[in-house]
Structure 1
């Protein structure tokens, strides 16, 4: 099914190692060479049939933490999938993904592990793809080695030499287009001594989507290269969909009072930094830029996560509440679709938080008790 012919792939894409850095072309893309569908004749006013029920990756689908003390060799395959799915009800979009989900599957290894990674690009794909992992020492983070035209596959082997949480993403010539459309994920390289244990872990990916229609406008939204060039996104999303992990979409995430929760965030961008904040809580421990080595920062209210970087944060849950995970550039929450929620179940602790205090004045005081 798949051919392994890297030279032909690079010729098909019109790029080579000397002509690109991590797949970045020196000239801006045009509609002709990107497969753009932004012309009036190609734009539709009705949603397209979808290929999948949802594109939003399950945030609870996180590989187990690593407890072993020895290095290991991993055989990992990433398959690209170009799918039509809904951003929100009645709004379809043509995504490019790793494994049919946004973000791509989390890869979790230990410092010192060896990884044989194969990228498969099915024959039904319309475009060439590759993968650049920020955890790789090597040209383009492996992008040139893994570049594959439709119907091809290519592979590389690398050692995870430095710990941290790192983005991986497609890095062909029009990498901003591919990343915005969903082609990014996270590789976690745990330190040799591992990470502190927690009760739950969640995995989210933030990115912008640039379309030819307004937020919520029914129909199939085609990609807008003009809006992307001007950095004016239609949507800013977690996991490729509008408000995905809320009551009105796929349901809120769940936790129990007293649990410690670790949240992994990868910011695919391609252009916006995230200002990651848990409303009603605080990052009790924060690993900025995905660095899993000291120093660990404590009690961060809002963490800046640049595009192409990651953040790992922990929250404590002393009271029952709904924690809202947001970008504190709040217009992205109120108007462009970025929100995920965690419902913490448990018993009220009014000494910490009392949502319904007695408002009657005490006999010893003249004013109300707040």
Structure 2
């Protein structure tokens, strides 16, 4: 969608929608899903209980100044859902409805909307959710396909890449009603969810190479478009900033725990790799209706999609989870750490001889 949809087509679509018969929602139970900040997941059942649900959520389009890299002074007026990059993880089961209240605060600069790759019709909901500052709207869509899917802002024209590359994207996970399964139909369960959003930023620079700063959201618009045309990101980071998932912010786990790693990249291809571990089960293209690949070393997440991988930790220590374009991992910021507690197993790996000098 390179430009805004013509007004007459929007009006024609609205007329078609207005004539559609109402949906019979009898038998559906309404539940409220409280959004939580990444890398965490909202409370949910891995196997659906009871009948289908209408899952009510609220997303607020918050525009906020964020530090991308404290060491270089890089910052951005991020465009976000609920204040985080990526936006919160939304979880439903196949056959549920997701009912989203999208709210744009009165002090915002921009119009916003939301395109759910997991939904069907009206530009993924993008055609029905345009909200100007001070407005809110409610969209309900049915989760007809199981998997992990990107959502993002798509106001139209150049504003689409501008909003996406300023952090306005996230993931919906639609679980099969009977839970995840391997390729033979055996159930798969996880103990933890690690929700990782990989964000490419294109930050304008001054002539001396330092990063430009701006007083308010939107002031960087022309400079950002020029920087984005290079197709070369200044940063490729996990969860909004360099170091957002390392050090004292590292992900924590234990030997024997199974983690479901959900990875979103709304704009560019990426190659997740868990150094010291594997993707025991990987839904590389995101579809839970397809059998997962097994025992992958590195997997591909296509730009504009989410994927998922499951791994059970077998050794303690620090595991680096990286984009295995190592230039992006090391130089641009696409690195996270899992700190895993437990007992070391020499049968899996043993240092037979410690490093020492030798004679030639």
Sort the TM-score into its range (normalised by shorter chain): 0.7 to 0.9
Question: Hey, what does 2:227 align to over in structure 1?
Answer: 227
Question: Hey, what does 1:266 align to over in structure 2?
Answer: 264
1:1-370 equivalences in 2 (<5 Å): 16=7, 18=9, 57-67=37-47, 68-89=49-70, 90-173=73-156, 174-195=159-180, 196-213=188-205, 217=210, 220=213, 222=220, 224-247=224-247, 250-269=248-267, 272-354=268-350, 356-358=351-353
* Residue pair 2:61, 2:81 contacting (<8 A) in 1 also: yes
What is the Cα deviation at residue 220 of structure 1? 2.4
Secondary structure, counterpart of 1:127 in structure 2: coil
Cα 1:303/1:347, change in 2 over 3 Å: same
Provide the C-alpha distance between the structure 1 equivalents of 2:95 and 2:122, rounded to a whole number of angstroms. Answer: 19
Q: Which moved more, 1:202-211 or 1:154-163?
A: 154-163
**Residues 4-35 of structure 1, C-alpha deviations (whole Å, 9 max, x = no match):** xxxxxxxxx89637389xxxxxxxxxxxxxxx
After superposition, the CA RMSD in angstroms is 2.4
**Residues 261-284 of structure 1, C-alpha deviations (whole Å, 9 max, x = no match):** 110111122xx2011111111101
Secondary structure, counterpart of 2:226 in structure 1: helix
What is the Cα deviation at residue 83 of structure 1? 0.3
**Residues 328-365 of structure 1, C-alpha deviations (whole Å, 9 max, x = no match):** 111001111111000111111111011x32369xxxxx
Provide the C-alpha distance between the structure 1 equivalents of 2:334 and 2:50, rounded to a whole number of angstroms. Answer: 39
Cα 1:236/1:17, change in 2 over 3 Å: farther
* Residue pair 1:79, 1:98 contacting (<8 A) in 2 also: yes
Cα 1:120/1:288, change in 2 over 3 Å: same
* Residue pair 1:69, 1:192 contacting (<8 A) in 2 also: no
What is the Cα deviation at residue 216 of structure 1? 9.3
Question: Hey, what does 2:21 align to over in structure 1?
Answer: none
What is the Cα deviation at residue 243 of structure 1? 2.2
Provide the C-alpha distance between the structure 2 equivalents of 1:155 and 1:57, rounded to a whole number of angstroms. Answer: 21
TM-score of the two chains, using structure 1 as the length reference: 0.78
**Residues 83-107 of structure 1, C-alpha deviations (whole Å, 9 max, x = no match):** 0011121332100000000111111
Q: How many residues align?
A: 309
What is the Cα deviation at residue 73 of structure 1? 1.1
What is the Cα deviation at residue 75 of structure 1? 1.9
Cα 1:210/1:218, change in 2 over 3 Å: closer
What is the Cα deviation at residue 76 of structure 1? 1.9
Q: Which moved more, 1:140-149 or 1:226-235?
A: 226-235
Provide the C-alpha distance between the structure 1 equivalents of 2:8 and 2:230, rounded to a whole number of angstroms. Answer: 28
